[in-house]
Amino acid sequence: DGGITQSPKYLFRKEGQNVTLSCEQNLNHDAMYWYRQDPGQGLRLIYYSQIVNDFQKGDIAEGYSVSREKKESFPLTVTSAQKNPTAFYLCASSATGWEFGYTFGSGTRLTVV
């Protein structure tokens, strides 16, 4: 079955530590995305990648980093420079043709303790 897998589902981090969120897809989609959801804020784009070894900043990229070494994988690192990292993080992928938009993963809830 094709889909997007995000892991872990819940993640706790101490202040000052970096943490990496995993996102893997087997849909053969070229493009992948990271969004962040905060209460009352909707979904905000962090980074996106249209092709392997290339990625662009979204609207709120500060304090985050990504890599795209394989088509199937797009990990997101939340660095200690991110001032308010506690949020729900969503990974998505898309193919060409926009009738169906993105396919989303089930999300990772990151909590800084």
Partner 1 sequence: DQQVKQNSPSLSVQEGRISILNCDYTNSMFDYFLWYKKYPAEGPTFLISISSIKDKNEDGRFTVFLNKSAKHLSLHIVPSQPGDSAVYFCAAIEGSNYKLTFGKGTLLTVNP
**Contact residues for partner 1 (CB under 8 A)?**
4, 6, 31, 33, 35, 40-45, 48, 50, 58, 88, 90, 92, 94, 98-107, 109
- What b/e string do you get for 11-48 counting C-beta neighbours within 10 Å, with b at 16 or more? bebeeeeebebebbbeeebebbbbbbeeeeeeeebbbb
Give the shortest CB-47-to-partner 1 separation in angstroms.
11
Give the shortest CB-13-to-partner 1 separation in angstroms.
18
How many Å apart are CA 21 and CA 65, to the nearest integer? Answer: 11
Give the shortest CB-79-to-partner 1 separation in angstroms.
23
- The type of residue at 46 is I
Nearer to partner 1, 80 or 103 (CB): 103
